[in-house]
C-alpha cells in the first residue's frame, strides 16, 4: 500500500486537519513531517472542537499511531499540554510516538522570535512568535538539540553553550538585552527529556516496517505550498518545506512510497500572515466573507488573528497543486459561498508592466499584480445537508467543475461543512 500525503495548495488554513481526521479512520499511522506549533489544524468531531498545533490529526482514533517525525520542530510544552487537554475533554489517550532525531524548540528560540518581530515592527513577516524561524536557523547551522540529547547533562550543557555563544552577541548588541547562559535552560531541557522519554522511538524504522507490511500511512503537512521557503512567496514563507516532496525526508520514508498527494484548497482564499495576496478583499466585502467562513469565522487557529480573505485564486492554486505534485484535490468550504448572486474567481494576474499572466510569478512581481476575475452564477441556497455531488444545485456543481478545469487536477472531495459527515466524495 502506498503512502498518502495531505498538503495545502495555498497559504495554509485550507482544511487539511479535517480531511486527515476523516481519512485517519482507515489508517494505521498519521505523521507530522515538518513545522511546529506555529499553525493549527481545526477538527470538529463527537468530542467537540479542537485546534491541534503539535499533535497529528489522527489522535481521535485509538487504532492510529500518531508520529511526530524528525523534520518537525518539537515544542514540548505544547505537545504535553495538548495530550493533557485531549484527555481532560474525554478523548482516550492517543498513541503518540516522537522521533528521537527530531529537534526541540528551546525557550531562547521563542524569545528571539519575539524580539525580531518587535524590531521589524511594520516590516515584520507575520510570525506567530512560536520560535520556528530561530529553531530552523539553528538546525541548519548545526546548533540544534535533538530529543535524544536531552538525557546526557554534560553533552546537553556543551550543546547549549555552542547555541548561545553567538546569540549573546546578538542579544546585547542588536536587541539591547542581557546575555543568557546554559544554566538558564539546562534544568528545563532535562525536564523536557523526562516528559518526552515515554514517547521517543526510532520512527524511521517504525514507518519503514509499517510501509513494508502494507499498512496505511497518512503524512500531513502544515501550512501550504505558497508558504514554502523555496517555491512560495519568499520571504513571507515558513522555515521548513511545506511540500509533499519533503514528506519523505521529514517523515523518514522512501520517496517512492508516496503514491497519492491530496492538495487541499478552499472554495475561496484565506491566509494568516504577511505577503502578497492578489485576490484579497477589503472592507465590508471581506468582513462578510470572513464572518461566514470557516466553522466559526476566518480567524487563525494558532493566533486568533483575523484571516485575510479573497475570492478563489485559480492562478495560485494551479501553481500550488503543481509544486505539490497533486494527484487529486479536496475543495473545502463550498457551503460558505451560498450567499452570493455572482461568485468571482481570479483567473489571471495583471502585472505592473501591463502584461497579463496565468502563471504564478515571483514575489517581486506579485507585490504589484492585480487580479483578473471571471464571475460564475451563485446558487443562493444552503447546501450543508447535501451528501452526494448529485444533490448539489447545478450552479454549485458548475462552480466545482470550473475550479477543476482551471487548476488542471481532479476535485475528488468537496466539503460542505466543518463536520466529518459533510464531506462529499465524487
Task: Read off the DSSP letter of residue 206.
Answer: H
Task: Calculate what percentage of the chain has a pLDDT beyond 90.
Answer: 83
Among 197-201, 295-299, 351-355, the least confident range:
295-299
Cα R_g (the chain), whole angstroms: 22
The Cα–Cα gap between 322 and 324 comes to: 5
Is-contact 32 242, C-beta < 8 A? no
pLDDT in tens, 406-419: 999 999 999 999 88
Is-contact 301 295, C-beta < 8 A? no
- What percentage of the chain's residues is helix, strand, coil (to nearest 5)? 40, 25, 40
Please tell me the total number of residues recorded for the chain in this structure: 426
Which residues make Cβ contacts (< 8 Å) with residue 87, sequence separation at least 6? 93
CB-based burial, 81-101: b 16+ in 10 Å, e otherwise: ebbeebeeeebeebbbbbbbb
pLDDT of residue 404: 98
pLDDT at residue 11 is higher than 90? yes
Known catalytic residues? 13, 41
- The pair phi, psi for residue 144, each rounded to 5°, is -75, 170
The Cα–Cα gap between 350 and 337 comes to: 25
pLDDT in tens, 121-138: 777 666 777 889 999 999
Is-contact 8 224, C-beta < 8 A? yes
pLDDT in tens, 249-289: 999 999 999 999 999 999 999 987 889 999 999 999 999 99
Is-contact 56 6, C-beta < 8 A? no
pLDDT of residue 126: 64
Question: Could you tell me which residues are beta bridge partners of residue 31?
Answer: 67, 219
pLDDT in tens, 98-114: 999 999 999 999 999 88
DSSP 331-372: EE-GGGGGG-SEEEEEEEEE-TTS-EESS---HHHHTT-EEE
Report which of residues 307 and 330 the model is more confident about: 330
Amino acid at each position: 500500500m502506498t503512502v498518502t500525503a495531505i498538503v495545502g495548495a495555498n497559504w495554509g488554513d485550507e482544511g487539511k486537519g479535517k480531511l486527515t481526521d476523516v481519512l485517519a479512520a482507515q489508517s494505521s499511522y498519521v505523521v507530522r513531517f515538518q513545522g511546529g506549533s506555529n499553525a493549527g489544524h481545526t477538527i470538529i468531531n463527537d468530542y467537540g472542537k479542537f485546534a491541534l498545533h503539535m499533535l497529528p490529526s489522527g489522535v481521535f482514533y485509538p487504532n492510529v499511531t500518531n508520529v511526530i517525525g524528525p523534520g518537525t520542530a518539537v515544542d514540548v510544552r505544547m505537545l504535553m499540554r495538548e495530550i493533557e487537554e485531549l484527555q481532560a475533554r474525554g478523548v482516550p489517550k492517543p498513541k503518540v510516538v516522537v522521533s528521537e532525531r527530531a529537534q526541540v524548540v528551546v525557550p531562547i528560540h521563542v524569545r528571539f522570535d519575539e524580539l525580531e518581530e518587535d524590531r521589524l515592527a511594520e516590516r515584520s513577516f507575520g510570525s506567530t512568535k512560536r520560535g520556528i524561524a530561530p529553531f530552523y536557523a539553528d538546525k541548519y547551522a548545526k546548533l540544534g538539540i535533538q530529543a535524544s540529547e536531552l538525557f546526557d547533562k554534560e553533552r546537553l550543557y556543551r550543546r547549549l553553550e555552542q547555541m548561545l555563544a553567538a546569540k549573546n552577541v546578538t542579544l546585547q548588541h542588536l536587541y539591547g538585552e542581557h546575555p543568557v547562559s546554559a544554566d538558564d535552560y539546562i534544568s528545563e531541557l532535562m525536564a523536557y527529556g523526562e516528559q518526552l522519554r515515554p514517547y521517543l522511538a526510532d520512527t524511521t524504522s517504525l514507518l519503514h516496517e509499517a510501509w513494508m507490511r502494507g499498512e496505511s500511512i497518512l503524512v500531513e503537512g502544515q501550512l501550504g505550498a505558497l508558504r514554502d521557503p523555496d517555491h512560495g512567496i519568499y520571504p513571507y514563507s515558513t522555515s521548513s518545506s511545506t511540500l509533499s516532496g519533503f514528506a519523505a525526508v521529514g517523515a523518514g520514508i522512501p520517496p517512492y512510497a508516496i503514491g497519492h498527494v491530496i492538495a487541499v484548497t478552499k472554495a475561496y482564499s484565506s491566509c494568516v500572515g504577511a505577503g502578497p495576496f492578489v485576490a484579497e478583499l477589503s472592507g465590508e466585502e471581506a468582513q462578510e466573507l470572513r464572518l461566514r467562513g470557516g466553522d466559526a469565522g476566518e480567524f487563525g487557529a494558532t493566533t486568533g488573528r483575523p484571516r485575510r480573505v479573497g475570492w478563489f485564486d485559480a492562478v495560485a492554486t494551479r501553481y500550488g497543486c503543481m509544486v505539490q505534485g497533486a494527484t487529486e484535490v479536496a475543495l473545502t468550504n463550498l457551503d460558505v459561498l451560498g450567499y452570493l448572486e455572482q461568485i468571482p474567481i481570479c483567473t489571471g494576474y495583471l502585472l505592473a508592466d501591463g502584461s497579463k499572466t496565468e502563471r504564478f510569478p515571483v514575489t517581486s512581481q506579485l507585490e504589484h499584480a492585480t487580479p483578473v476575475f471571471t464571475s460564475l452564477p451563485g446558487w443562493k441556497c444552503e447546501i450543508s445537508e447535501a451528501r452526494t455531488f448529485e444533490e448539489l444545485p447545478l450552479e454549485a456543481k458548475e462552480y466545482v467543475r470550473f475550479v477543476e478545469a482551471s487548476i488542471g487536477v481532479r476535485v475528488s472531495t468537496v466539503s460542505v461543512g466543518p463536520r466529518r459527515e459533510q464531506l462529499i466524495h465524487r
